[in-house]
Amino acid sequence: MMYPRVVRIHKVVEETKDVKTVFFPFDERVEPGQFFMVLIPDVDEIPMSVSYLLDESKGFTFKRVGDATNKLFEKKAGDLIGVRGPLGNGFNIHGEKILFVAGGTGVASVAPAVEKALSQNRETVVALGAKNREELFFVERLKERGAEVHVATDDGSIGYHGLVSDLMLELVEGDSFDLVVTCGPEQMMKKVVEVCSKKGLDVQASLERHIKCGMGVCGQCCVCGGLRVCVDGPVFDGETLSKCRDFGLFKRDASGKKVYIH
């Protein structure tokens, strides 16, 4: 039922100065790329991709950016939150060799997809982008699991100096992939999808739109001619996105007004 399940946080991990992972008991099956609506009592209920898929518990990893995430940042093990989900479609992991391209907190939803690919013995290359060395996270986690991880930072403090989409260009030049999976800032994903279209690569991108109901009734999260990010997405394939005039162009704010993406 589309009703928040009240759970007690059982672990909180600080990933960076502004990013934390919250673990909560949840023993049902969740797919990488799916998300939960996370209820922070008295404040808001916000969408969060699943970042850890354990048998008995699940986790999400978030950056503090505003009211709700700041309040969430204060929560400790033992505190109550609500989780409604899993929602959305998730990634469709297939092919022998997969490239994952994540920017910022995008790695949160990509990480479990990488782990799934590895557990299925697929060849797995990951490109992670961040502003700087301090804002990177999950690099060790993915390396330890056996992924080939490449890093890009805006300031060059570690790895490739530049945008992860440029790093990605290099990676696809020298190699062939059956699938590209991406999550991050929409401008970045737009570039990734464009590159894939040109190269004829299969691609899946996870979109963010303002989510209210999360159950397909309010219409708030619509993109690309009436597709609902909350139930038809958040993951869309390259074919859909190539025909989508708002992808990389505008989002809608809480009132439904267009907000252009810069």
Partner 1 sequence: MDETADAIKRVIQSGAGAVVTKSIGREPREGYPNPTVVELPHGILNAMGLPNPGVEAYVEEMKELTNVDVPVIGSVFSDSEKGFSFLAKKMELYGADAVELNLSCPHAHGYGFEVGSQPDLVENIVKTVKETVKIPVFAKLSSNVTSIVEIGKAAEEGGADGVVAINSVKALKIDVDLKKPILYNKIGGYSGRGIKPIGVRCVYELAKEISIPIIGAGGVEKGEDAVEYILAGASAVEIGAGVYYRGLTVFKKVCKEITEWMKRNGYNAVDEFKGVALR
Ligand X SMILES: Cc1cc2nc3c(=O)[nH]c(=O)nc-3n(C[C@H](O)[C@H](O)[C@H](O)COP(=O)(O)OP(=O)(O)OC[C@H]3O[C@@H](n4cnc5c(N)ncnc54)[C@H](O)[C@@H]3O)c2cc1C
Binding site for ligand FMN (CB under 6 A): 213, 217-218
Contacts (CB under 6 A) with ligand X, residues 168-227:
208-211
Alpha carbon distance 140, 71 (integer Å): 28
Query: Nearer Cβ to ligand X, position 72 or 179?
Result: 72
How far does Cα 99 stand from its chain's mean position? 15
- Regarding 39 and contact with partner 1 (CB under 8 A), the answer is yes
Taking Cα atoms as reference points, which of 179, 176, 226 lies closest to residue 205? Answer: 179
- Regarding 211 and contact with ligand FES (CB under 6 A), the answer is yes
Which whole-number Å values give the CA distances from 154 to 25, 67, 161, 221, in the listed order?
36, 27, 6, 30
Instruction: Using the rule CB under 8 A, give the single segment among 90-98, 166-174, 186-194, 215-223 that binds partner 1.
Output: 215-223
Residue 69 interacts, among partner 1, ligand FMN, ligand FES, none and using kind-specific CB cut-offs from 5 to 8 Å, with none
- Regarding 234 and contact with ligand FES (CB under 6 A), the answer is no
Angle, helix 186-199 to helix 164-174, in steps of 10 degrees: 20
Applying CB under 8 A, among 25, 82, 95, 146 the residue interacting with partner 1 is 82
How far does Cα 50 stand from its chain's mean position? 8
Applying CB under 8 A, among 11, 66, 225, 239 the residue interacting with partner 1 is 225
Residue 220 interacts, among ligand X, ligand FMN, ligand FES, none and using kind-specific CB cut-offs from 5 to 8 Å, with ligand FES
Applying CB under 6 A, among 21, 89, 105, 240 the residue interacting with ligand X is 105
Cis geometry, peptide bond prior to residue 86 (ω within 30 degrees of 0): yes
Applying CB under 6 A, among 164, 221, 224, 235 the residue interacting with ligand FES is 221
- Regarding 34 and contact with ligand FES (CB under 6 A), the answer is no
- Regarding 225 and contact with ligand FES (CB under 6 A), the answer is no
Instruction: Give the binding site for partner 1 (CB under 8 A).
Output: 1-4, 6, 37, 39, 41-46, 80, 82, 84, 211-220, 222-228, 252-258
Residues of the shown chain interacting with ligand X in the complex, contacts defined by CB under 6 A: 35, 44, 46-49, 60-63, 65-69, 105, 108-109, 208-211, 234
